Amino acid sequence: MADHLPSPPPTQQQVIALVDDDRNILTTVAIGLQAEGFATRVYSDGEAALKALLENPPDLAVCDIKMPRMDGLELLQKLRAKSTLPVIFLTSKDEEPDEALGLAMGADDYIAKPFSQRLLVARIRAILRRTELVRDEAEAQPDDADGGETIQRGRLEMDPVRHRVAWDGELVSLTVTEFLILEALATRPGVIKSRNQLMDAAYSDDVFVDDRTIDSHIKRLRRKFRAADREFGAIETLYGAGYSFADG
């Protein structure tokens, strides 16, 4: 009888949660993501989605902004109080203020309707790649490792391996996108980084974002640090040029 080699373990599917009160969109997007190898969970109600996202977190959530009972912005606000789960917003063309507010509140990206499935998949994969990179590096690093990789800039301390950030010793919770933007600025204090350079640092080549997305991430970073220090002003704006980090 021929020997049988053991079957390789199945590859664990990444799970995407879809939150939208439009069941046609839920069905269409779920089918498309499943065809790309993702597992999906669908929710047509913000309140039910929030409970599920906290109790059994997926790898990423795609949420509509306009929903009855609990809209996407309220859902994100309550989610961010307890979780850094990556979130992509689906918005309509007339919801630009909501897009900016969503990014300021902690969304990782947004896509305007109508959108292509290819664009959605590209952005999902880009965010998941960044999230996995941070997680893998943190798991590979022993707890007693030295701090050789720590970035110290004045009162700012960043640990890229563990994805930890502190200001004056107080921890500041950042999403992966926020961390990468701040790291690009803090690595070379005083050097002006254009929006395009910050896009390159935070997004892969196959994902397009506009200037407003970077500006919103910067505003969100400042807001988080000002919660720890009301006088925080280390991220400076140079109008028409970009941003820089002052470590003085």
Strand residue runs (E) in 94-229: 109-112, 151-153, 156-159, 164-167, 170-171
Q: For the chain, list the domains and their CATH numbers.
A: 15-132 (3.40.50.2300), 147-245 (1.10.10.10)
Q: Each residue of 175-233: pLDDT tens digit? A: 778 888 999 999 999 999 998 898 888 776 655 666 677 888 898 899 889 988 999 99
Q: Each residue of 205-221: pLDDT tens digit? A: 655 666 677 888 898 89
Other Cβ atoms less than 10 A from the Cβ of 52: the count is: 16
Q: Each residue of 92-123: pLDDT tens digit? A: 756 566 666 777 677 888 887 888 888 889 88
* pTM greater than 0.75: no
> CA 200, 183, 111: angle at the middle one, nearest 5?
45
Q: What is the pLDDT of residue 2?
A: 46
Q: What is the pLDDT of residue 210?
A: 65
pLDDT band, very low/low/confident/very high, at 129 (cuts 50, 70, 90): confident
**What distance in Å separates the CA atoms of residue 107 and residue 102, rounded to the nearest whole number?**
6
